[in-house]
Amino acid sequence: MRLHDLKPQPGAKHRRKRLGRGEGSGLGKTSGRGHKGQRARSGGSVREGFAGGQMPIYRQLPKRGFNNAEHTIYYIPVNVADLEQFDVDAVIDVETLQKAGLASGKGQGIKILGHGELSKKLTVKVQAFSASAKQKIEAAGGACEVVDRIPKTGPRAL
C-alpha cells in the first residue's frame, strides 16, 4: 500500500450543498428556505427562546429564591508544576504569574493547585491554595501567603 492508494471510507465525504443552481438541482428557486416568511429572508432569524410574539416561557415563570451563582468566587487555576520555571527564593505574586503567562483569564484571584512536583524554595503570595499545593510548597522549603481577594466588579473580575 502506498500513500496514493489511500482513500476515505465510502460515505465519509459529502459534497457541499450548492443552493440556487436551477430547478433541476432540487435546491433551486427558494434554495431550501420554503416560501416567504421571516426565515426565508436574508438575515431573517429569531433568537433562542422566541415564541412568535407570545410571552416566552422563561418570562412567564416567576423568579424566586436564592441563586448561589451570584456569589461564586472564580479563581484562575495554576498548578505547582508551573511554578518550577521560577528561580530559587523568588517571590511569586499575581503580577509575576500574569507576566509569565500562567494566569490569563478572568477571576477574583489565583488558586495554586497541587498537580505536579516542586523542587525549589519559593514564596507564593496569591488568593488561595489547595491543601496539596500548600503541602508541596512548604515541603520544598517555601512559604504560602494568602492575600486578599480581588473585589468582584463583573461576572469575573481579574
Least confident of 19-23, 65-69, 145-149, 151-155: 151-155
Q: What is the pLDDT of residue 154?
A: 53
Q: Is residue 22 part of a domain?
A: no
Q: What is the pLDDT of residue 153?
A: 58
Q: What is the pTM of this model?
A: 0.58
Q: Is residue 21 part of a domain?
A: no
Q: Is residue 115 part of a domain?
A: yes
Q: Is residue 157 part of a domain?
A: no
* Structural domains counted in the chain: 1
Q: 89 Cβ partners below 8 Å, 6+ apart?
A: 121, 122, 123
Closest CA to 76 of 39, 119, 105: 105
Q: Is residue 110 part of a domain?
A: yes
Where in the sequence is the domain holding 109, given as residue range(s)?
Answer: 72-146
With vertex at residue 11, the alpha carbon angle to CA 5 and CA 12, rounded to the nearest 5 degrees, is 70
Q: Is residue 131 part of a domain?
A: yes
- What are 42-81's pLDDT values in tens digits? 998 889 999 989 999 999 999 888 888 778 888 999 999 9
Q: Is residue 156 part of a domain?
A: no
Per DSSP (E only), the strands in the chain are 75-79, 91-92, 109-113, 123-126, 128-129, 143-146
Closest CA to 102 of 57, 156, 158: 158
Q: What is the pLDDT of residue 72?
A: 84
For position 134, which CATH number holds?
Answer: 3.100.10.10
How confident is the model over 140-144, as a mean pLDDT? 94
- What are 74-89's pLDDT values in tens digits? 899 999 999 999 999 9
